[in-house]
Chains A and B, each alone.
Chain A
């Protein structure tokens, strides 16, 4: 199977005065697993549907390899799609659903059957070929939808929040399985989700979207540690945006004059653990909550700003004894302090 790169070139789409896609450009490499991540209404699904051919962009170009597909009919794009609600055909059994794209291509019946069965085995659904769709669990339906999307060896795969209807444990299993399937097939995949953990776990790169624009596109680690905007910082996890001047350097050097982003879990209560060039934030403990694997402390800085401090339970020996109202200091290693340009909006 030959997978292809995708080029999205200045694509815009508006519904009346509502701008769903605002001049979006994006290059996806052949065989890459790229996630479009954003809150609902950010344009991620619109972008996916434009690639599939179900949303006609107002302007811009879509390329598959070097072929312009902007005006190509959906059924000629050769793209496998997994829909949020699976979109399995209720009037066909599992085998007929998976063999459907092959039947459309006039694949001989015996060959279609054999390929559909092989694909079902690949998604661990052997033995369910003759089942009715209504008799399947959510996880099994998800696997049928996957099998149906890959059985005809499309050159690109699009997935629209495919795991959002599954419960948490099943979702985590499927995250690894989808990623493994992608690695086996080497198929260019664009995956849409609003779950940042899912994006971090699965992706080669993440494109964070908001209000019809791509805010940042980068590897999961860089997106998490080096967000380029306040939106990305806060969307990706518990982020503290600290105003210039609220921190001091432990070693006495001059503190940064920029707006800083420090993740809640970057803090230590023990200065020694944070290193010699750590920054310190001082304030009053306002609230504390035990969350199982960690403690979440809310610290009110002297300027009034609240900072979330997350201490792993294993290192949080004294947290249970802390009392609201007492003064305390949290330390963050210099490497975990990230400047965000112009983000105090």
Chain B
């Protein structure tokens, strides 16, 4: 049986769909203006000399420099280190939040979110006050006799990592907590009733079902960490130089737009590579969870 469609009704439906699609236009415009155009501009810039002539010299200069590769290594160390610490600290915290009573969970969540309400620069300088040689932490450590000498907590890799983890942990926690909170408590009860220990419940039910949240949290942490600038610049004391500080130096010290553009493209490529790896990891994870019960 065929139904004859009234063209006027069909047009109404089409108009409605178009209207709702059009709501995305302002956002699309901004994204186009603020993201895609600058990227195209940077790509163009990376092939130009300071005089404005076409060249591949920027690439050969940057890629043959040892500083570039050590910056790349530092970037990866900082990002992956931050992510690793966020996972180690964040997953137990998310478990605790998800299993707490709603009122307690909300209160704890407010504490977790508190740093996000403070400007990053303020927080970074706050860490400086705490971590310096004559800062609060070292004063407490030497004062109580725990250490004879003040620990080198800042103007180095450790200090940068502390500052970055402090910034990233809430961003990691949010999606992980959301995923864990959405797990039907009856699934956990069912698992326990069939004999699962707490460890088995976590491994066979909670972790597989919050994998999506852990994945999202990891992506957020990596995206933010790879281009992170303020914390390495302030807490690294010039000794921690990821790609972001190299770009800043190329621009502010040498006004070398070509090299800065190449470094920026390097960051983009790095992000794309990590994205592909994470996607592959997730696909692998999805295939193995079904068999996870029999681990």
CB <8 Å contact, A75 and B195: yes
CA distance A84 to B184 in the complex (A): 12
Contact A105–B293 (Cβ < 8 Å):
no
The A-contacting residues of B in range 240-295, CB under 8 angstroms, are: 289-294
Taking CB atoms, residues of chain A closer than 8 Å to B196 are 75, 104
Whether, in the assembled complex, A99 has its beta carbon less than 8 Å from a beta carbon of chain B, the answer is yes
Q: Does A78 contact B290, Cβ atoms closer than 8 Å?
A: no
A54 at the interface (CB under 8 A from B): yes
Q: Mark A60-91, 1 if CB is under 8 A from B, else 0.
A: 00000000000001111111110111010111
A93 at interface, CB cutoff 8 A? yes
Give the distance in Å from the alpha carbon of A292 to the alpha carbon of B194 in the complex. Answer: 46
Q: Confirm or deny: B130 has a beta carbon within 8 angstroms of a beta carbon on chain A.
A: no
Number of interface residues of B (CB under 8 A): 23
Q: Identify the stretch in B25-33, B85-93, B168-176, B197-205 within 8 Å (CB) of chain A at 4 or more residues.
A: B197-205
* Identity of the chain A residue whose Cβ is nearest the Cβ of B209 in the assembled complex: A91
Q: Is the CB of A148 within 8 A of B194?
A: yes
Q: How far is the CA of A85 from the CA of B184 in the complex (A)?
A: 10
B193 within 8 A of A: yes
Q: Is B208 an interface residue (CB 8 A)?
A: yes
For residue B189, CB closer than 8 A to chain A, the reply is: yes
Residues of B with C-beta under 8 A to A100: 191, 194, 204, 293
B-facing residues in A24-39 (Cβ within 8 Å) = none
- The answer to whether A52 touches B189, judged by C-beta atoms less than 8 angstroms apart, is yes
Check: B65 CB closer than 8 A to any chain A CB: no
Chain A residues, Cβ within 8 Å of B189: 52, 54, 74, 81, 83, 87
A116 to chain B, nearest CB (A): 11
Q: A96 in the interface, Cβ–Cβ < 8 Å?
A: yes
Say yes or no: is A101 at the interface (Cβ < 8 Å to chain B): yes
B187→A96 contact, CB < 8 A: no
* A103 within 8 Å of B (CB atoms): yes
Q: Is the CB of B193 within 8 A of A80?
A: yes
CB of B192 within 8 A of chain A?
A: yes
- CB-CB under 8 A from A92, the residues of chain B are 289-290, 292-293
User: In the complex, A152 Cα to B186 Cα: how many Å?
Assistant: 19
- Among A73, A96, A104, A109, the residue within 8 A (CB) of B290 is A96
Query: Are A89 and B187 also in contact (CB < 8 A) when A99-B293, A99-B294, A103-B293 are?
Result: yes
* A75, B195: Cα distance in complex, Å: 4
B183 nearest in chain A by CB position = A90
Most buried by A among B187, B289, B291, B292: B187
- A85 close to B186 (CB less than 8 A): yes
- Give the Cβ gap from B79 to chain A, nearest Cβ, in Å: 29
Most A-side CB within 10 Å, residue of B184, B186, B190, B204:
B190
Complex interface: chain B residues within 8 A of A80 (CB): 193-194
> Can you list the 8 inter-chain pairs with the closest CB atoms, starting with the nearest?
A101-B194, A87-B186, A87-B190, A74-B192, A81-B193, A103-B294, A103-B293, A75-B192
Chain A residues packing against B (C-beta within 8 Å): 52-54, 73-81, 83-85, 87, 89-93, 96, 99-101, 103-105, 109, 112, 148, 152
- Residues on B close to A: CB < 8 A? 184, 186-187, 189-197, 200, 204-205, 208-209, 289-294
* Given A75-B192, A100-B194; 8 other pairs, CB 8 A cutoff: A52-B189, A53-B193, A75-B194, A81-B193, A89-B190, A89-B204, A91-B208, A92-B290
